[in-house]
Amino acid sequence: MKIIITHGSGGPGTAEWNASLFFEEMGYDVEVKDYFVNFDIRSLRWCDTPEHKQDNFNITYKEMFDSIELPEDEDLVHIGFSLGGFYGLYNAEKFKKNYLFYPGVQGITQELLEKDYSNTSVIFGSKDKGQDKYNAFKEQCKTPPLVHYSLHDAHHAFMVSNIDMEFPMARYNTIGKIMDEQEFAELKPNHKFMSERYGYSNEKTILRSNRDYRNQYLQIIGEEISEAFPRI
């Protein structure tokens, strides 16, 4: 069994490396996958304000996600953070267990809604406004994730170490919208493209660490994995 970890908009950082170290110390084979590195992306901003550089990449989410090669000859457990959580929804059928921290749903297709997410657990902070987009997706799923934690007073990025910041986030008007496969395949982190196609609004977003929740939920996942994949 191997544990696959995927990152959020900031690229591989403390959330991913903390999780990797935790499970390596438990004796597991862990690999952090970077779907930015082949496309010269360091991070995504999700902003339109003058003090922040707008995202203007022409690579699509589908192309980024499809660039990750997964082993086919062993059981896989996936842990995804934010945009990496969306990767986990996109590829849910490839994993025996699929743990998604505050998944950032960028688009919905009928194919995604038809998938079986009974292997998936979702963990959000109760003050994470991105949960609305996930809920709109979940409500339409044929077999939604069976586990959905909403952690009291936690914000987006609570698994990241030493972060406490607030910024106006560009939120595109795609919430709950079912797209055909071609439209979905065109989605990309490009503010001009996304804002012209869908429109958007700016919403105050808080990113804030929570060490207690981080430790608690890594421990919970570790216990579940140990039970599902007992080692002799």
Spatial CA neighbour of 3 closest among 17, 24, 104: 24
CA atoms within 13 A on the CB side of 133: 21
The residues facing 149 across adjacent strands are 123
Give the pairing type, strands 76-81 and 97-101.
parallel
Per CATH, the number for 2-43+61-160+210-228 is 3.40.50.1820
Contacts of 149 (CB under 8 A, 6+ apart): 121, 122, 123, 124, 217
pLDDT at 51: 66
pTM: 0.97
Give the tens place of pLDDT for each residue, 167-181: 999 999 999 999 999
> What CA–CA distance (Å, rounded) separates 31 from 177?
33
Taking only the tens of pLDDT, the chain with its 232 residues reads 999 999 999 999 999 999 999 999 999 999 999 999 999 999 999 988 766 678 999 999 999 999 999 999 999 999 999 999 999 999 999 999 999 999 999 999 999 999 999 999 999 999 999 999 999 999 999 999 989 999 999 999 999 999 999 999 999 999 999 999 999 999 999 999 999 999 999 999 999 999 999 999 999 999 999 999 987 5
Give the tens place of pLDDT for each residue, 103-133: 999 999 999 999 999 999 999 999 999 999 9
Give, rounded to a whole angstrom, the gap between the first and last alpha carbons of the chain: 13
> What CA–CA distance (Å, rounded) separates 30 from 25?
10
User: What counts of helices (H) and strands (E) characterise the chain?
Assistant: 8, 10
Question: What DSSP designation does 143 have?
Answer: B
89 phi, psi to nearest 5 deg: -70, -40
Helix (H) or strand (E) holding 220: helix 211-228
